[in-house]
C-alpha cells in the first residue's frame, strides 16, 4: 500500500542497527496473542527513543500512554542509575499486562505504571510537585495532545525534552486531514510550531508497511 522502498529501508535499519532482544520480541508477540492492537512504536522508533533518552541523561521520565509497555521498556533501559519512569495508562487490562512485561524485563524497580485517565493524573502530579521530568513522551489519544502538552510543560524544566508520537496523519495530501483525528493532529502541529517556550522539529520515521509518520521532538527553552 505504501512505498515498498520505505518498507525495505525499515527492514534494513532493523537488521543492521536495531536487533530486538528476546524480551522485546516476547512483549510484542504476547500482545498479539492477547488481541491487543499493534499500535506500539516500531522497533526503529523504540531505539530512537532509547538513544534520545540516553543522550539526555534522564533521572526522571514520564510517559503518557503505556499500552503493553513496549516503548516503556526502551525508555526505561536508558535511565541513569537510580532513575525512575512513570507511565500513565487508562485501560486497566493494558496497565496490568504492561506491569507483567516490565517485571519480565527486570525493570519493575524503576518503572511505575499508573492506571487512570492522564487528564486527571497529570494535574495530580503537578499538584504534588512530582516534576520536573527530564523527558516526557506523549503517546495516548491524539485529540488530547494539546492538553497533555500544557500539563507536560508544567512538569518540565528548561532543557527538558518533550516527545510526541504520531504527528503525521494518514492521507496522501500533507496538511489536508482525512478525518477528525487528522484535523486535531495538524492543529496540534501548528500549536507546537508556534509555542514560545519550545524549540521543535518533526522527525520522519518509517512505521508499519512503509508508511511515514513523524515523531515530534521539542526542547523546553533555557529562557524566553
What backbone torsions phi and psi does residue 170 show, to the nearest 5 degrees?
Answer: -65, 160
Longest dimension (CA), the chain: 49
List helix spans (H) across the chain: 4-17, 22-33, 43-55, 70-76, 92-104, 118-127, 145-154, 180-194
Smaller CB separation from Mg ion, 108 or 143: 143
Q: Which is nearer to ligand SAH, 98 or 153 (CB)?
A: 98
Query: Which parts of 194-213 interact with ligand SAH (CB under 6 A)?
Result: none
The residue range among 10-18, 85-93, 149-157, 201-209 that interacts with ligand SAH, by the rule CB under 6 A, is 85-93
Residue in 63, 89, 134, 165 binding Mg ion, rule: CB under 5 A: 165
CA dist., res. 132 & res. 144, Å (int): 21
Is 70 an interacting residue with respect to ligand SAH (CB under 6 A)? yes
Q: With CB under 6 A as the contact rule, which of the stretches 136-144, 170-178, 186-194, 210-218 interacts with ligand SAH?
A: 136-144
CB 50 within 8 A of CB 74: yes
The least CB distance from residue 42 to Mg ion, in Å, is 9
By CB under 5 A, is residue 166 in contact with Mg ion?
Answer: yes
Stretch that binds Mg ion, among 24-32, 78-86, 157-165, 176-184 (CB under 5 A): 157-165
Q: Should residue 139 be labelled a site residue for ligand SAH when binding is judged by CB under 6 A?
A: yes
Cβ closer to Mg ion: 122 or 214?
214
13 vs 39, beta carbon nearer ligand SAH = 39
- Alpha carbons within 13 A on the beta-carbon side of 25: 6
Q: Is 163 or 192 the residue whose CB approaches ligand SAH more closely?
A: 163
User: Taking CB under 6 A as the rule, which mask of x and - marks residues 89-128 in contact with ligand SAH?
Assistant: xxx--x----------------------xxx---------
- Provide the β-strand partners of residue 201: 217
DSSP-based helix, strand, coil % in the chain, nearest 5: 45, 20, 35
* Residue nearer to Mg ion on the CB measure, 126 or 212: 212
Judged on CB neighbours under 10 Å (0-12, 13-18, 19+), 175 is exposed
- Do the beta carbons of residue 47 and residue 18 sit within 8 Å? yes
Interface with Mg ion, residue 139, by CB under 5 A: yes
CA–CA gap between residue 161 and residue 153 (Å, rounded): 10
Residue 176 burial by Cβ neighbours in a 10 Å radius (0-12, 13-18, 19+): exposed
The residues binding ligand SAH (CB under 6 A) are: 39-41, 65, 67, 70-71, 88-91, 94, 117-119, 139-141
The residues binding Mg ion (CB under 5 A) are: 139, 165-166
Amino acid at each position: 500500500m505504501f512505498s515498498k522502498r520505505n518498507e525495505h529501508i525499515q527492514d534494513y535499519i532493523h537488521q543492521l542497527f536495531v536487533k530486538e532482544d528476546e524480551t522485546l520480541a516476547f512483549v510484542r508477540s504476547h500482545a498479539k496473542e492477547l488481541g491487543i492492537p499493534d499500535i506500539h512504536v516500531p522497533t526503529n522508533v523504540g531505539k530512537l527513543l532509547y538513544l534520545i533518552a540516553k543522550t539526555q541523561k534522564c533521572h526522571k521520565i514520564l510517559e503518557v500512554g503505556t499500552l503493553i509497555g513496549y516503548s516503556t521498556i526502551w525508555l526505561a533501559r536508558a535511565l541513569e542509575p537510580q532513575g525512575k519512569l512513570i507511565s500513565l495508562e487508562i485501560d486497566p487490562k493494558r496497565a496490568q499486562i504492561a506491569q507483567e512485561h516490565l517485571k519480565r524485563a527486570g525493570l519493575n524497580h524503576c518503572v511505575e505504571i499508573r492506571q487512570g485517565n492522564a487528564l486527571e493524573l497529570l494535574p495530580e502530579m503537578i499538584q504534588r510537585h512530582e516534576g520536573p521530568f527530564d523527558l516526557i513522551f506523549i503517546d495516548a489519544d491524539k485529540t488530547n495532545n494539546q492538553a497533555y502538552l500544557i500539563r507536560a510543560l508544567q512538569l518540565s524544566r528548561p532543557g527538558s525534552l518533550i516527545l510526541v508520537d504520531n504527528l503525521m496523519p494518514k492521507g496522501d495530501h500533507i496538511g489536508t486531514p482525512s478525518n477528525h483525528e487528522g484535523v486535531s493532529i495538524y492543529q496540534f502541529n501548528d500549536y507546537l510550531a508556534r509555542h514560545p517556550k519550545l524549540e521543535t522539529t518533526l522527525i520522519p520515521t518509517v512505521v508499519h508497511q512503509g508508511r511515514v509518520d513523524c515523531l515530534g521532538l521539542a526542547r523546553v527553552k533555557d529562557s524566553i
